[in-house]
């Protein structure tokens, strides 16, 4: 059996262990320390736009804290892109709030601005303005931020950007994660950079950042003994993990280059194939890190389905995966409201993510090309 080609696997740059060693040498083996501060500073400089970053245990915990800082509580409604990973929506339920799911649009596969506005109007008409909007930059593709920001402003609703998959992506030159009232990042094992597990909350001001750190470290009042006036969480990032992050930041832009080259490879591979579209930027305003490259297959034109292609790849020990199953179709969210015209449903039925790691080798691409060429001949 040939070696497995993964969808997206960790890709170390070589500098990570130096920072981890430093943590051991100085005995900063704790959920705070110079690596945590250093990684936060690296991220603040990278994301820009005066962002203030708090490093946390995961992207999911970052979203949870964003909702708490946004004042989301029991009984509130939160609008969330339906086409996403469940981690975008789960923290809404942690807060006792109710998710309302919004469909995608065709250009970016992200939140459809008109379905979003329809949902808001509908909620307001029923006497209940939603508390927050969670927009996702899926697979690294920036969402239609001009429209979505305008809606968040018009209705004065807090905007949370789930940029877990989009570190390094930009829209009109501005980094994803820096548009909303809050942004979240993930450094899980298969993301564009990884710390083995971890995440970050991007805030607009130091006050929010400090509040997030306070909540993430068990909400200890500022007195010598342990005293608590609020419910806290254990969500802070460890100094060991942050060391890996600092090393990964040294290679982030290089790795984005590799991921973008993968997307180019797939675009060329499918260039003259009728019925297959590769997700790519619709205009030069968008710059995707192309965390994952994905295609939509029109079976009527190709004669094979996305499942046929997935199985053909699997047969050669090559991993691929259907697109995220929309949240409004998930058993756990089946009773939630949904606005849209089933764009996300069709994307899910016909879409496939292809191997996209920044460590994909020339030989790996040849093997992928061979399987795909056989299918489309």
Ligand X SMILES: *Cc1c(COP(=O)(O)O)cnc(C)c1O
Note the residues at the interface with ligand X (CB under 6 A).
58-60, 84-85, 87-88, 136, 162, 164-165, 186, 188, 199
Which C-beta is closer to ligand X: that of 312 or that of 329?
Answer: 329
Tell me how far apart the alpha carbons of residues 162 and 54 are, in angstroms, rounded to a whole number: 15
Tell me how far apart the alpha carbons of residues 37 and 126 are, in angstroms, rounded to a whole number: 45
Q: Which two tokens stand for residue 48?
A: 């820009």
Which C-beta is closer to ligand X: that of 164 or that of 269?
Answer: 164
Which C-beta is closer to ligand X: that of 97 or that of 269?
Answer: 97
> What secondary structure letter does DSSP report for 95?
T
Which C-beta is closer to ligand X: that of 58 or that of 248?
Answer: 58
Which C-beta is closer to ligand X: that of 186 or that of 344?
Answer: 186
Tell me the three state secondary structure of residue 329.
Answer: helix
CB of 195 to ligand X, least distance (A): 9
Which C-beta is closer to ligand X: that of 193 or that of 372?
Answer: 193
CB of 305 to ligand X, least distance (A): 25
**CA distances (Å), 242 to each of 31, 42, 208, 253, in order?**
9, 11, 21, 18
In angstroms, what is the C-alpha Rg of the chain?
A: 21
Q: How many CB atoms lie within 10 A of CB 114?
A: 15
Buried b (16+ CB within 10 A) or exposed e, 300-319: eebeeebeebbebbeeeebb
Distance of CA 100 to the CA centre of its chain: 19
CB of 162 to ligand X, least distance (A): 5
Residue nearest to ligand X (CB): 59
CB of 99 to ligand X, least distance (A): 13
Which C-beta is closer to ligand X: that of 123 or that of 239?
Answer: 239
List the alpha helices (DSSP H) in the chain: 16-25, 34-47, 59-69, 90-94, 113-125, 145-154, 206-216, 239-249, 252-269, 299-302, 306-315, 343-350, 362-376
């Amino acid at each position: 059996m040939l070696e497995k080609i993964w969808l997206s696997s960790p890709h170390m740059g070589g500098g990570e262990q130096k920072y981890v060693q430093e943590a051991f040498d100085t005995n900063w083996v704790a959920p705070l320390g110079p690596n945590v501060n250093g990684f936060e500073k690296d991220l603040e400089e990278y994301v820009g736009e005066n962002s203030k970053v708090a490093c946390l245990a995961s992207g999911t915990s970052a979203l949870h804290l964003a909702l708490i800082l946004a004042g989301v509580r029991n009984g509130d409604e939160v609008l969330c892109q339906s086409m996403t990973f469940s981690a975008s929506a789960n923290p809404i339920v942690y807060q006792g709030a109710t998710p309302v799911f919004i469909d995608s649009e065709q250009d970016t596969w992200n939140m459809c601005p008109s379905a979003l506005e329809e949902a808001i109007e509908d909620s307001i008409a029923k006497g209940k303005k939603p508390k927050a909007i969670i927009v996702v930059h899926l697979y690294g593709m920036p969402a239609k931020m001009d429209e979505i920001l305008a809606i968040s402003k018009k209705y004065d609703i807090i905007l949370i950007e789930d940029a877990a998959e989009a570190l390094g992506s930009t829209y009109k030159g501005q980094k994803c994660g820096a548009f909303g009232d809050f942004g979240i990042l993930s450094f899980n094992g298969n993301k564009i950079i990884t710390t083995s597990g971890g995440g970050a909350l991007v805030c607009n001001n130091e006050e929010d950042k400090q509040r997030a750190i306070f909540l993430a470290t068990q909400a200890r009042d500022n007195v010598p003994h342990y005293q608590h006036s609020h419910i806290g969480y254990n969500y802070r990032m460890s100094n060991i993990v942050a060391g890996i992050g600092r090393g990964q930041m040294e290679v982030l832009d290089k790795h984005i280059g590799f991921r973008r080259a993968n997307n180019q490879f797939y675009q060329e591979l499918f260039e003259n194939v009728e019925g297959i579209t590769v997700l790519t930027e619709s205009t030069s305003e968008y710059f995707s890190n192309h965390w994952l490259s994905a295609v939509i297959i029109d079976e009527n034109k190709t004669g094979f389905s996305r499942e046929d292609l997935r199985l053909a790849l699997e047969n050669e020990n090559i991993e691929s995966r259907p697109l995220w199953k929309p949240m409004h179709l998930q058993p756990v969210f089946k009773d939630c409201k949904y606005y849209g015209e089933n764009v996300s449903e069709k994307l899910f039925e016909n879409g496939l993510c292809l191997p996209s790691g920044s460590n994909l080798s020339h030989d790996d691409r040849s093997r992928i090309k061979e399987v795909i060429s056989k299918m489309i001949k």
